[in-house]
Structure 1
Amino acid sequence: MPETRQTYAAEDLFAAWLDTAARTPGEPLRIQVGGEVRLFEPETEPRFTDPAHVQQMVDRVLAHLCATGSRYDDPEGVDAAAIPVVVRPRRGHRQAHYEHGELPARGVIAIPPREVGGSWSLRGAVVLHELAHHLCPGTGHDRAFRTTFLRLLEDLGMPVLADLLHTAYRLNGLDTGVDDEDRTLLRIGRLLRQAERTSNTAERDAFFAKAQSLATRHQIVLAVARATAGAEERSEEPTWETVLIGESGKRSLARYVRLLLEIARANDVRAAIYTSNTRVTLYGFGSDIAVVKALYAALVTQMVADGDAHLRAGAHKSDTRLVWDARRRAWQERPVHGSTARAAFYEAWADHVGERLRRARDAARDAAVAAERAAGSTVPTAPSVTSAQAAPAATSSSTELALRAKEVEVVDYFSRMQRDHGIRGTWKGAAYAGHAAPGSRDAGIAAAARARLGTERAITRG
């Protein structure tokens, strides 16, 4: 079948890319996609010694899917991830395959061992391909299978491998109808879920950075596409959307707004804040606004949960202030009020999260520009004259020009909307509380550094 041949060709290309990445650890993988050079830093692909080792890995994968609530329901509503899979050695060396069995072990993966020449199959790309057949039974190598394989990689915390595989599929003429924006948002959501599930601070921070890096890379691709397309081909224009922050009179609204602004700044989105802090109107490209809403929905609940835990533990009582006791006619040292401690915690949490988002954004942009410069894709820009003699003409990459053009377009649109919507004044936020509760401020920074993010449900688009 043509689709099967294309799928195998794409996965052979995928495996070759992974081999290249394994030979050059620490260096980004450069892939030519059309007229663009894309950078990938793929996760480490698992390798195995024998089928028994593969069995251990398959058991762990299925247990992980069940523990994280990643259901793969078959047509009868049975979660395939909850059904065991047996791995057995295969006599032939040319193929690995999946076969249906009887319950309780409905699936069998046959892997040729190393002794018969099966070393090529003892790798994650092959084993997870066969496991995808178990999770999506009876569909061959059609679109449903490929979607399941991509989702499996994402659910296992390998979003870059999923992106790389999806690129291989597209280069081989498969899945060209997949909505890139929706798949990007889905991958961001799954990264957020991975961050929520892990108790390891370093892993959580890595998932967080990957989510913002993926969002930034998606924005760069769209910006370059907008800059190179003719006016009649441009499908996305700046727009605006109002986000509800909370009910009037609710405490901490200004701190919620502060968090949303930090996320918006990292994603090229402008904002106008209602005087009551109950609503914020976001201005920018729709795809960027969707990313901002996704990250905010995931992060604000975690910020509140972290703040509540801080107050419940009584850690804020280490912050004290001098209060005049009229009865005793003396100054007394008392703990700061809980509301002050919460405000300081939220401020620091939002600021630190914003800093992490900006670092991830800048790293992704620098990598995209560096890749384009390495490929020699630069264009001349107007020279600057510092004396009677003109300086040599500078060069910029098309990515840099596209990003600047995008920023200008958003700024111009926001300026126009400010006039049309009658937006005046500057948002001043709430009084700074960090100096009054330095302990809570430091606790907020520490909590934001391990920011446990929300689930993929948070990014469901209206």
Structure 2
Amino acid sequence: MSSDKMLTRIGGLLRQAESTDNPHEAEAFMEAAQRLASATSIDLAMARSHSASREKRASPAQRVISIGEPGKRGLKTFVHLFVSIAFANDVKCDIAHSSSQVFAYGFDSDIDTCEALYSSLLIQMVRASDAYIKSGAYRGETAVRTVTKGYGPRRRTTKEVVPVAAVTARLNFQTAFAERIGKRLQAVKKETEVKAIAEEKPDAGTALVLRNKEVELRDYYSATSKARGTWRRQSANASYSQGARSAGDRAGRAARLGGEPEIGAARGQLER
């Protein structure tokens, strides 16, 4: 199946998911979309491996993904969501220091899949966190905050119990949502690959093709990436809210693929 046909079929799953209020059906649609993406990725990798001319073969590429305006709070949770999706779809990422951009490295069809999934799941994540904040469920809860004081030999780290603020609840909710989405998509990808290898024709070499694809992407990334240092998804002083994490995890489990083509509406700044 071509990349264009795959995206069209995923679009159909998005519309079906959007039309149901049943969380079990919605979950099935999401997993079906990821299963389709993984199977198509395998098919394209097999096709590339049998290409008669290396010059005509598709090669990894880099694409810049805009996450939001620098300085807006919550961008790290948006990046976390994209990276979680990318990990399940054979795409490597570098993140701008401001968390306003992701530099995605992979085959075009895989990056297309990541953008399609992200554009839907981002809106779901923000809507779900909006509903959680408006419910006031976080009020009355306490959070553990790590506080660092002093410098050098006098540097001390302590933990404080503080009331959960709206921004703390939102950040924890969205972090847990992104983590759950990543686990779900990765499980579907693994299942699809295992099935493809088990059902392959004699001497098809699917496992070897997938390994070669992984190596090709890794080599391209090593030669192309100019990243320095390590991106951290949370600051050292971030507060931890178990209630918000649990709610975000539940929302991630129930998330469906939506049909909204725009993601700009979800890029609001978090409450201060």
Q: TM-score category by the smaller chain?
A: 0.7 to 0.9
1:207 counterpart residue number: 29
Q: CA deviation at 1:244?
A: 0.5
Q: Residues of 1 paired with 2:28 and 2:70: CA distance?
A: 36
2:221 counterpart residue number: 414
Offset from partner CA, 1:201-220 (integer Å, 9 cap, x none): 11011001000000000000
Q: Residues of 2 paired with 1:195 and 1:233: CA distance?
A: 40
Q: Secondary structure at the match of 1:455?
A: coil
User: Residue 129 of structure 2: which of 298, 307, 311 is its match?
Assistant: 307
Q: CA deviation at 1:413?
A: 0.3
What RMSD over aligned residues (CA atoms) do the two structures have, in Å?
2.3
Q: Within the alignment, does 1:436 sit opposite 2:264 as a pair?
A: no
Q: Residues of 2 paired with 1:458 and 1:190: CA distance?
A: 17
Larger radius of gyration between Structure 1 and Structure 2: 1
Q: CA deviation at 1:400?
A: 0.6
For 1:151-300, what aligned pairs fall within 5 Å after superposition?
180-232=2-54, 234-300=56-122
Offset from partner CA, 1:140-190 (integer Å, 9 cap, x none): xxxxxxxxxxxxxxxxxxxxxxxxxxxxxxxxxxxxxxx821111011122
Structure 2 CA distance for partners of 1:399 and 1:321, relative to 1, 3 Å: closer
Q: Secondary structure at the match of 1:315?
A: coil
1:365 counterpart residue number: 193
Query: What TM-score results when the alignment is normalised by the length of structure 1?
Result: 0.51
1:454 counterpart residue number: 258
- Is there any run of 5+ residues in structure 1 with no aligned partner, and where? 1-178, 324-332, 379-396
Q: CA deviation at 1:409?
A: 0.5
Q: Residues of 2 paired with 1:284 and 1:454: CA distance?
A: 24
- Is there any run of 5+ residues in structure 2 with no aligned partner, and where? 146-160, 264-272
Structure 2 CA distance for partners of 1:318 and 1:183, relative to 1, 3 Å: farther
- Relative contact order, CA 8 A, sep 6+: which one is greater? 2
Q: Secondary structure at the match of 1:256?
A: helix
Query: What TM-score results when the alignment is normalised by the length of structure 2?
Result: 0.86
1:401 counterpart residue number: 208
Q: Residues of 2 paired with 1:411 and 1:281: CA distance?
A: 14
Offset from partner CA, 1:236-272 (integer Å, 9 cap, x none): 1111110100001111001100111000100000111
Structure 2 CA distance for partners of 1:218 and 1:370, relative to 1, 3 Å: same
Q: CA deviation at 1:434?
A: 8.7
Q: Secondary structure at the match of 1:416?
A: helix
Q: Residues of 2 paired with 1:318 and 1:292: CA distance?
A: 38
Equivalent pairs: percent with the same residue?
42
User: Residue 341 of structure 1: which of 169, 194, 205 is its match?
Assistant: 169
Structure 2 CA distance for partners of 1:213 and 1:321, relative to 1, 3 Å: closer
Q: Residues of 1 paired with 2:106 and 2:79: CA distance?
A: 17
Amino acid paired to 2:41: Q
Task: Report if aligned partners of 2:144, 2:240 keep a CA contact under 8 Å in 1.
Answer: no
Q: Residues of 1 paired with 2:33 and 2:140: CA distance?
A: 35
1:327 counterpart residue number: none
2:249 counterpart residue number: 445
Q: Residues of 2 paired with 1:262 and 1:211: CA distance?
A: 16
Offset from partner CA, 1:340-394 (integer Å, 9 cap, x none): 111110110000000000011111111111101xx4x13xxxxxxxxxxxxxxxx
2:270 counterpart residue number: none
